[in-house]
Structure 1
Amino acid sequence: MNLFTDLRGVVVEALDQMVQAGELPAGLDLANVTVEPPRDPAHGDMATNAAMVLAKPARMKPRDIADRLAARLTDPRITAAEVAGPGFLNLRLSPVVWQGVIAAALKAGPEFGRSDMGAGSKVNVEFVSANPTGPMHVGHVRGAVFGDALARLLSFSGHDVTREYYINDGGAQVDVLARSAYERYREANGRAPEIREGLYPGDYLIPVGEALKAKYGDSLLDRPEEDWLEEIRDFATERMMEQIRGDLAVLGVQMNVYSSEKALYGTGRIEAAIARLDAMGLIYRGTLEPPKGKLPEDWEAREQLLFRSSAHGDDVDRPIQKSDGAWTYFAPDIAYHWDKIDRGFDQLIDVFGADHGGYVKRMNAAVRALSNGRVPLDVKLIQLVKLYKNGEPFKMSKRAGTFVTLRDVVEEAGADVTRFIMLTRKNDAALDFDFARVLEQSKDNPVWYVQYASARVHSVLRRATEAGIAVDDSTLAGADLSVLAHPAELELARKVAEWPRLVEHAARAHEPHRVAFFLYELASDLHSLWNRGNDDTSLRFIQDGDAVTSQGKIALVRAVGVVISSGLAILGVTPAEEMR
């Protein structure tokens, strides 16, 4: 039930009537006509921009359109249609409408707000994709939480979502991993490890070295690198991926698909992808311009195989093969995205770290070319997370050698807190994570504030049950909701009504942080009504000796609980039943 969509339908029907009556010209595009909450609640329950967006194409004054539109809005749910300013139209709705939303939320339960907006379209969300060279660090936490919450949000809005992890196991970094693991293998065999510059120094490779000893004994000692490099590389990569899967599980993230970069080499898939672009006239041999700014000392103009990415929106063309014949990093990425297109996805979403900002245009160009513009790619960049405690930079154990791990963060703050806080900023905004503040019990801590609201909902239900008041959802949905007449109660019901609209808007924008913001606002409205009940006993959810009135008021708080539970599920957070 999306009340805003329903009322937009009423507005559009009235506009169609105006066209038929000759009050508006035919052929107007109504796509930008909206019905949404007004910026100032004092102006009404909803507002439509219809007159403002249609004035220019209709060659009419906005206020003239608004006056005529207001006269035609005779739907019984609308008690007043008021023209404001240059032509905005504010709508006031009957309290019965908001009371009906509460009943609808209780009847739908966890399905309330779920949308078929996605119409089953297949969406691939690729996120994390950390190099399999060590444990996941705090920077990966935010990308993992964002990608998983986005996948949950898209699923809730009717999309067919695949979560995918791209294992970067085809580059030189996995050779470095193998050499680093070999030193830990030597250490496990009683030799002093030689962790020279360029190798990974973290203690996390000590168990890998011990596992290598368990498998090979001392048979690989003093052997030339070519005898063991490939075997240890595969062994260490798989051990690191096991650890990464475990790290993701600690955070509540599960992937549907793990794809390997290495699997693209030697199979002809990279060559086939490049050949496809070549057939489109997008591959050529040429020389790139020198980079802007200070010219590197080793800069040398040389002919390379280039992708004409500038033909599809990029700033410059991009090399796909080096002068020595080896593929650049971009070439397997092209093949990988072609594979995703070939698997039938209708939309691709890549979640990258902020340091990959320069990669966005070239990747978009490749996908646009390979799909003939059919499959959109949305690249979401994740900004850095800075760790603090009591306002001071916080250093934890560095088992990884050079960075704070995902497990460090989760063990310190908990998975639920970590996930919620990581979604309290838009993905492309920097985020400060203060361990003291995210665990404090105050309104300034959004996760505690929302969980406190959830706990209060459960507290009301427990107390009502103890008082012998039936509070199952079917009973509450059929309760006398006319008792919800106070402006504060209706305001809370209006907020509940916004949930389906919020889901669709957040899903279209690929912005799960909007859910966190909404839950905070909903919790604030609930706490406000709760506090009013301290002074005005008629606003308390349980009215002593009056089960009928109590059930109507409890229906409101239970509907809030339905939305909080659904919203937290999208964020991957377990709702609290009581605060400890």
Structure 2
Amino acid sequence: MNLFAEIKTLVLTSLEAMVAEGSLPDGLDMRNVAVEPPRDAAHGDMATNAAMVLAKAAKSKPRDIADVLAAKLADDPRVAEATVAGPGFLNLRLAEGQWQRIVPAVLSAGTDFGRSDMGAGIKVNVEYVSANPTGPLHVGHTRGAVFGDALAGLLDFAGYDVMREYYINDGGAQVDVLARSVYLRYLEAHGHKVEFPEGTYPGDYLVPLGETLKAQFGDSLVDRPESEWLLQVREFATDAMLDLIKDDLGALGVTMDKWFSEKSLYGTGRIEGALQSLEDKGLIYQGTLEPPKGKLPEDWEAREQTLFRSTDHGDDVDRPVKKSDGAWTYFAPDIAYHYDKIERGFDQLIDVFGADHGGYVKRMKAAVSALSDGKVPLDVKLCQLVKLYKNGEPFKMSKRAGTFITLRDVVDEVGPDVTRFIMLTRKNDAPLDFDFDKAMEQSKENPVFYVQYAHARVASVLGKAEIACDDAALSGADLSKLTHPAELALLAKIAEWPRAMETAARTNEPHRIAFFLYDLAAEFHALWNRGNDEPGIRFIQEDAEETRTRLALVRACQLVIAAGLGILGVTPLNEMR
């Protein structure tokens, strides 16, 4: 049940009637007509922008459209009042009993309430994290992992067919650097004194790998030329790092559906095939590029390269795919990887990148547009930096990692639930301050506590009730008794859940779910606190039916909280400790 969708359908039906009777011209685009909560609750229960968005095309004044539409809406038994405000805004008050209809719908559906078929089974590939397999995941990867996983959960709830995917960057020079770093730890395990050259990985996390390598190969690789050990050490080290990454993601509650190896693109003709597809469309040519911005002409040596005509698909400049020496650029395998996604039949692609990949967005979008002839959209989400604080000071880096704060540092400090929720309290493209002290604080200022506390409070009340309070029993409650303004406010917020979820899914913004849950918890806690002063609205009453009525309301609230937390990958707690 989606009460906002019901009223929107009523609005659209009324507009169609206005077209039929000649009040509006035929052929109007109704796609931007919306029904949503008003900015000020004092204005009504819902508001529609219909008159404002149709006025120009209809060649009418917004208020004239709104006056006619208001009269039609007021004739519906679900609408108590339709009021025109300002130049043509239309505010609606629902008839008595409309908000209360939401409770049995929630109790019947459980945590599936609000689940939508909006996605209609559209196949979406969400690629996230995709860190180089050279060390532990750091705090920046943590934010990307949480965002990508929550987005995948959101799209799944909205009816999309979602694949969670990790692109293993194991085809470049960085894995050779990893192998050399592990080899140094291997020599160290044999008692050799070693120094780590600049650019290698000196973190302590490689010490166990050196010891394992020693146990596996003995001293057979000591003092041998690199050509004899590089390939096997690289494979060993990459596999070990992937195990570490999977373990880190598991600690955060993230499980991937597919791990795609960049290395699998090399020597298989897949890169060549993707570029041939572009060449067949006239988008590959030999040429030279202008000097990069900020480079003086004398610093620039023009070289003829193989270029992708990405400017034909919205990029600022054309991009090289093969160097003058015949080697692939780093962009070439990425083109092939996205071509593989298109060939696998995905209808939409989403890439979650770190903040340092901002300059990569246009070229990747251009490639996908060219490869799919504009049929497969690519949405790139950039996750901005996270700053960590503890005791009022910046959190110190991990000695184990050597140069950065790891995902495990964060999860070990506050747990996966807190980590996930806090990471979603800002939009992905806004910087985030993560304060460990506030994250563990039991107050309204800590959003994850505030939301989980609401869920736990309902569990406590249900446990204390001396009546049958399973969902089936609560469904028969007399909900007409829920008339207090604080009760109606909670009902209205519960009813908003399906709309809020679909809006978040449509915009690929899972942080909206965290915001909604906080607002829902606020309405619940406000009702709880009002009960301290007004005994008549307390959840447990002397009269069993009065109790059943109020327990039905708060149980519906609890189910929506659980559904939202489930999307975010956060555990709904029944007890706070």
TM-score tier (shorter):
over 0.9
Q: Which amino acid aligns with 2:218?
A: G
Cα separation, 2, equivalents of 1:239 and 1:102: 51
Answering whether residue 559 of structure 2 is matched by residue 562 of structure 1, we say yes
The alignment partner of 1:436 has SS state of helix
1:496-535 alignment, distance < 5 Å: 496-535=494-533
Q: For 1:67, give the aligned amino acid.
A: D
Structure 1, 190-199 or 252-261: larger mean CA deviation: 190-199
Shift of the alpha carbon at 1:568? 0.5
Identity %: 72
Q: Which residue of 2 aligns with 1:351?
A: 352
- Partners of 2:330 and 2:103 lie apart in 1 by 54
CA distance in 2, matches of 1:10, 1:156: 25
Separation of aligned partners in 1, 2:205 and 2:96: 61
| Structure 1 residue aligned with 2:320 | 319
Provide the residue aligned with 1:18 in structure 2.
18
**Equivalent pair of 2:397/2:404 in contact (CA under 8 Å):** no
Tell me the residue number matched to 1:397. Answer: 398
Moved more, 59-68 or 145-154: 59-68
Partner of 2:417: 416
Give the C-alpha shift of residue 138 in structure 1: 0.9
Contact 2:147 2:428 in 1 (8 A): yes
| Aligned position for 2:39 | 39
2:474 is the counterpart of 1:476: yes
The match for 1:493 among 485, 491, 494 is 491
Q: Distance in 2 between matches of 1:147 and 1:514?
A: 14
Letter in 1 for 2:283: L
Q: Does 1:543 align with 2:532?
A: no
Shift of 1:176: 0.3
3-state SS of paired residue (2:271): helix
SS in structure 2 opposite 1:89? strand
How far apart, in 1, do the equivalents of 2:566 and 2:8 lie?
A: 29
Counterpart amino acid of residue 507 in structure 2: A
Of 63-72 and 136-145, more deviation after overlay is shown by 63-72
| Segment of structure 1 superposing worse, 19-28 or 547-556 | 19-28
1:76 aligns with 2:77: yes
Using the alignment, how far apart are the partners of 1:372 and 1:397 within structure 2? 46
1:297 to partner: Cα distance = 6.7
Partners of 1:351 and 1:382 within 8 A in 2: yes
**Alpha-carbon distance between aligned partners in 1 of 2:567 and 2:183, rounded to the nearest angstrom:** 42
* Cα deviation digits, residues 168-197 of structure 1 (max 9, x gap): 000000000000000111111222223222
Separation in 2 of the partners of 1:296 and 1:364? 29
Cα deviation digits, residues 299-332 of structure 1 (max 9, x gap): 2111110000000000000000111110000000
Q: What's 1:65 paired with?
A: 65
| Aligned counterpart, 1:456 | 457
User: Is contact 1:95-1:490 (8 Å) kept?
Assistant: no
In the alignment, what sits opposite 2:207? Answer: 206
Q: Deviations over 1:146-172 (max 9, x none)?
A: 000000000000000000000000000
**Which residue identity lines up with residue 260 of structure 1 in the other structure?**
S
CA contact (8 A) 1:454 1:575 kept: yes
Q: Distance in 2 between the 1:179 and 1:95 partners? A: 73
Q: Which moved more, 1:185-194 or 1:489-498?
A: 185-194
Q: Report the counterpart of residue 579 of structure 1 in structure 2.
A: 576
* Partner in structure 2 of residue 176 of structure 1: 177
**What residue ranges of structure 2 are gaps of 5+ in the alignment?**
none
CA–CA distance in structure 1, aligned partners of residues 296 and 478 of structure 2: 76
Q: Distance in 2 between matches of 1:28 and 1:126?
A: 38
CA contact (8 A) 1:471 1:554 kept: yes
Report the residue type matching 1:62 in the other structure.
Answer: P
Structure 1 CA distance for aligned equivalents of residues 96 and 363 of structure 2: 53
Query: Which amino acid counterpart does residue 541 of structure 1 have in structure 2?
Result: F
- Once the two structures are TM-superposed, the CA of residue 94 in structure 1 deviates from its matched residue by 1.9
Q: Which amino acid aligns with 1:5?
A: A
1:185-264 pair list within 5 angstroms:
185-264=186-265
Amino acid aligned to 1:518 = F
Q: Secondary structure at the match of 2:287?
A: strand
Deviations, residues 496-525 of structure 1 (Å, cap 9, x unaligned):
000000110000100000000000000011
Query: Do the aligned partners of 1:347 and 1:375 also contact (CA within 8 Å) in 2?
Result: yes
CA RMSD between the two structures: 0.9
Distance in 1 of aligned mates of 2:96 and 2:426: 34
Match for 1:23: what amino acid? S
Poorly superposed stretches of 4+, deviation over 6 Å: none
How far 1:294 sits from its partner (Å)?
A: 3.8
Q: Distance in 1 between matches of 2:8 and 2:399?
A: 55
Aligned equivalents of 1:198, 1:24: Cα separation in 2: 68
Number of aligned residues: 576
Question: Is the CA contact (8 Å cut-off) linking 1:390 and 1:437 kept in structure 2?
Answer: no
* In structure 2, distance between residues paired with 1:478 and 1:84: 39
Tell me whether 22-31 or 118-127 shows the greater mean CA deviation.
Answer: 22-31
User: Within 5 Å, which residues of 2 pair with 1:31-180?
Assistant: 31-73=31-73, 74-180=75-181
* Shift of residue 53, structure 1, vs aligned partner: 1.1
TM-score w.r.t. structure 2 length? 0.99
* Letter paired with 2:483: A
> Tell me, what secondary structure is at the counterpart of 2:98?
helix
Contact 1:398 1:405 in 2 (8 A): no
Map of 1:30 onto structure 2: 30
Separation in structure 1 between the aligned mates of residue 85 and residue 201 of structure 2, nearest angstrom: 65
Say whether the 8 Å CA contact 1:116–1:157 is kept in structure 2.
yes
Q: Hey, what's the Cα distance between the residues in 2 that align with 1:189 and 1:422?
A: 43
**Distance 1:296-1:480 versus aligned 2 partners, 3 A rule:** farther
User: Partner amino acid for 2:175?
Assistant: V
Which amino acid in 1 is paired with 2:279? Answer: D
- Contact preservation (8 Å) 2:43, 2:91: yes
The Cα of 1:414 is off from its aligned counterpart by: 0.7
The residue type paired with residue 578 of structure 1 is E
